[in-house]
Structures are given as structure tokens and as C-alpha cells.
Amino acid sequence: MATIRNPILPGFNPDPAFCRVGDDYYIATSTFEWYPGVQIHHSRDLVNWRLACRPLNRKSQLDMRGNPDSCGVWAPALTYADGLFWLIYTDVKRRLGNFKDTHNYLVTAPSIEGPWSDPVYMNSSGFDPSLFHDDDGRKWFVNMVWDHRRRRSSFDGILLQEYSPAEQRLVGPIKNIFKGSPLGLVEGPHLWKRNGWYYLTVAEGGTAYNHAVTMARSKTIDGPYELHPDTHLITSKDAPDAPLQRAGHGFYVETSTGEVFHTHLCSRPLPGTRRSPLGRETAIQRVVWKEDGWLYLAQGGQVPALEVEGPDLPPHPFPPEPERHDFDGGELPSPFQWLRTPEPERIFSLSARPGHLRLFGRESIGSWFEQALVARRQTSWTYSAETVVEVQPETYQQLAGLICYYDRARFHYLAVSADDEGRRVLQVISCLGDHPDALMTYALESDLPLPQKGPVHLGVDVRLAELQFRWSEDGVTWIPVGPVLDASILSDEAGPGAHGSFTGAFVGMAAHDMTGRALPADFDFFVYREDASETA
């Protein structure tokens, strides 16, 4: 049997919902403010995975303009029944303060590639929704409920209500079926049924270093639910030296060979730190049913393993993702996403200049509405990225270049701009996440003069917590730009509070034009190359 090496989905891929259809396995993960919404990966052996689709790809399904950082699509749930895929998701419109605006929707499709339907509105009482298809044909909707009063905890338990496919709405009484364990912060519910028992797994402890998968069961779907003998099926909260930290929030699947596995999110902090630029990633653990009717990790204990014995399934590798993308096709290459807007033609084009990705400079960096930023996930502690841009800024309000980005308060930006006389210059702009107003710093004492016309090659090298920008006129001879910067700020943990940020580091291309003239910036290619000798 092949060995599963965790994480199976490296880089920002949290909240993994797990679904099997015949010999095919699918994992749906959260995308937050990145568009299109929801990543669905596909495998046939649980070892090798490929991105199959991002189903929320049009305005009628998802419009996140104005959504704050780390809002948007939270914790999707993917199931299959009645010849359809059923995808439940939340679009979070607010996360700070007492209130959260959490709108839950359902879309369906006959195949994983679609076409995916327009959404059916479900409710807004809380986030992390999931749909369970009972063996009597009834369908049940669960989500955590948010208590804005905060008299005890804002995480007030798991609500259950029946869903009527005929009426396309929730029907019948609403019941709080599970208040969680003493760990608290109960969320991420998933239901399934086995041997007459209803099993419920939830995420608890918050998504930082006390995270856990908690398990409970009941003879009736509406409870009462009894806790697992160990309370938690998977957690690293008591194992500070475990390589997979923040373990929690996942789902159970039985393979076609009768073996059982459970997904979970995790993070890998940089050595000697509590910062994880790769974000919350997806891992998978082999689990076993014991005579007491409960699941346990196959290796024993509760701490997730880096390597797991894979299932007895034929190997099914996929072609590797190319390091270089030349933007020669009519569609954006699959690793790339953009921020919030369902109108991508406003921020980029692959046809305006064939063989190039043209970005139209829009609002300022960090805008929650219309920002021309196209990027891909950082998936290794060590990587190099390169691109080349042709842009003619006329004012310091116009910028374009290479960006390492987490959110509006955490980024490093190697930008081609103009000085007061309109001459092209190179700048290094950072926001270090340590100020509530997201104030920027400039790493260079003075802007670096550039040739006044022609392409500018831009590069970055990231080695653990060190980030070094570089530039070149010809793409052969490179010159370092500025000091070594702190790459660790591009992480959840570098932000305010333990539970305030939920994505991961991206690297890509950006263009900003605060004049409103939408200055075009043409990028000929993008290279992302991991250092195989130093991968995380």
C-alpha cells in the first residue's frame, strides 16, 4: 500500500469536507475572500490529488465585494445523493464585534464539473452548515448558532432543521442538538449514520492551537448526544512539538475497500515560531472502528501523523502542475485566483494582449471591493517566483508588480511606479500587520530608478521566514532589491487575536491605479518554483 504524506493539500486549504462517489473521492475546502469560491480536489487513491473545480464562479452564486478580510466562503460541505452533488456554503459578510452576518446557501450539480445551480437560500443563524441525507430519504441541515449577546459563549451549539427538496427551503422545528464539550467554541458539524447510531463530529477549541475534532453519537438524530470516551478524535492541543498543529475540523469517509479515513485541517508553523504562512492545510488520518462503536486514530492517541498507511487502492497519480505559466490560453491557469469580485473582466484580461495577462489597475491595495490582484497559494516554506511586467505609470498613484500577500494589513509588494517627475521607479512597500490602521512602510531609503521603457523582470526568494526581492532588466542578471524582509507576517498568527485570520500566503501579480484611469499592466509569464531540498 502507498503511504499518504500529510498534508495532502498543502497551502491554504482549510475546513476539508470529504465525499466519496463510487471510486472517486472529493475534498471541498474554504476559500474565504478568494474568487471563485470553494476548492474541490479529486483523488482515486487518497494519495494523489488534483484541483477539479471551483464551483462558485458567477455573480448569482457569490458576490463578495465589500466582504472584509477573512470573510466570504467559510467551511463548505459536499455530499452526494439522489444523483446530485450537494454543496452547502456560508458567505460571511461581517466577522468583527458581537455580530456576524452569515448567509447559508445550497447549490447542486449532476457532476463535479457542473453545471452548478443557482443558490437556494437556507438561513443566517450561524456558519459552518452541512447537509445529511438520512437512509429514510429525509434531509437534515445543521449549522452552529451564533449568540451575539456573549453572555456565555458566542458559540451556542449546533442547530438541526429538516430540508425539503420539493419546497427548496428549511421546514419544521429548529432544535439545538449539541452544546459541545467542555473545550467549547463548537462549530463545523457533520452528521453520518452507522449501525443505527447517528454520529456527529464537530470542530472545537477555535481554529488556533487548541483546535480539535470532537465526536458524539445518539440513537436519534435530534439527540441527546453522548461524547466520545476520549472526547476528541483528533487534536494536537496537548502536543506542542507535533509537526501538524491546530488539528481539527474534518469529515469521515469509508473507502470502496471498507477502510475508513478522516480529514482534518492543520498547520505547520515555521521552525521555532508560532507562525504558519502556509495557512491551514488539509491532512488525512486512517481511523478504525473499535468494539465500543467509536472511531479512533489507527496509530493510537489523538495526535495526527505526518505519514499514514494509504488504502488498498490502485495508484492514480496526476500530471504535475507546471512551474511556468505563459498565459497563452483563454482561461486563467488553475492555480490562480483573485479577490472578491464576480466581474473579473473589470480587473484582468487574457485576450487584450494575446500571450499576456493584462491587469487593469483599480482600487488601492487592500481594497475590499475591486482590487486587481491575481495570485496563487504559497505551498512550501521555500520557493522562488518570477514574472515580467510592462507598464508605464505616469504618477505615484499608479503601481504594478510582484506581490506576496495575506490581506490588507500583511503584504510585501515589489512595485513599478513613478516619481514626482513621472519617471519609472521601483519600490518595496510592506504592511507588517502590527497596526490597526494597516499603515505601510517603505523598505528602500529612496526609490530605485528604472529604465523608462521596456519590460521589468521581478523576482522573490522565500526561505522560511526570510523574503528577498530582486529585479532584472533582461531576466538573466538579477539584482537584489532592499533588505531581507519577514515572510512570517504572511500568516494567520501575525494578525490580531488568536481567531481573527483564516487564510494563507499568496504570491502573484498586482496593479493599482488610484487615479481611476485603470492603467493596464501586462505580465508575460509567471514562474513558481519550490526548492525540493528544503520543502516543508
For residues 64 and 89, is the Cβ–Cβ distance under 8 A? no
Residue 533 confidence (pLDDT): 61
Catalytic residue among 162, 323, 370, 394: 370
Residue 152 confidence (pLDDT): 80
Residue 437 confidence (pLDDT): 76
Apex CA 134: angle with CA 128 and CA 139, to 5°?
55
CA distances (Å), 243 to each of 68, 234, 237, 488, 492, in order? 31, 14, 12, 17, 17
CA-nearest of 406, 428, 429 to 488 is 406
Q: Going by C-beta distance under 8 Å and a sequence separation of 6 or more, which residues neighbour residue 30? A: 14, 15, 38, 73, 74, 75, 76, 502
Q: What's the chain's length in residues?
A: 536
Q: DSSP code of 362? A: B
Burial tier of 74 (Cβ tally within 10 Å: 0-12, 13-18, 19+)? buried
pLDDT in 10s for each residue of the chain, 536 residues: 899 999 999 999 999 999 999 999 999 999 999 999 999 999 999 999 999 999 999 999 999 999 999 999 999 999 999 999 999 999 999 988 899 999 999 999 999 999 999 999 999 999 999 999 999 999 999 999 999 997 788 999 999 999 999 999 999 999 999 999 999 999 999 999 999 999 999 999 999 999 999 999 999 999 999 999 999 999 999 999 999 999 999 999 999 999 999 999 999 999 999 999 999 999 999 999 999 999 999 999 999 999 999 999 999 999 999 999 999 999 999 999 999 999 999 999 999 999 999 999 999 999 999 999 999 999 999 999 999 999 999 999 999 999 999 999 999 999 999 999 999 999 999 999 877 678 899 999 999 999 999 999 999 999 999 999 999 999 999 999 999 999 999 999 997 766 779 999 999 999 999 999 999 999 999 999 998 665 55
Residue 435 confidence (pLDDT): 72
Tell me the DSSP string of 252-274: EEE-TTS-EEEEEEEE-PPTTSS
Residue 530 annotated in active site: no
The CA R_g of the chain, rounded to the nearest whole Å, is: 23
Separation CA 190–CA 249 (nearest Å)? 9
Residue 480 confidence (pLDDT): 98
Residue 497 confidence (pLDDT): 63
Residue 4 confidence (pLDDT): 98
Order of strands across the sheet with 17-21?
Answer: 17-21, 24-29, 39-43, 50-53
Q: Going by C-beta distance under 8 Å and a sequence separation of 6 or more, which residues neighbour residue 497? A: none
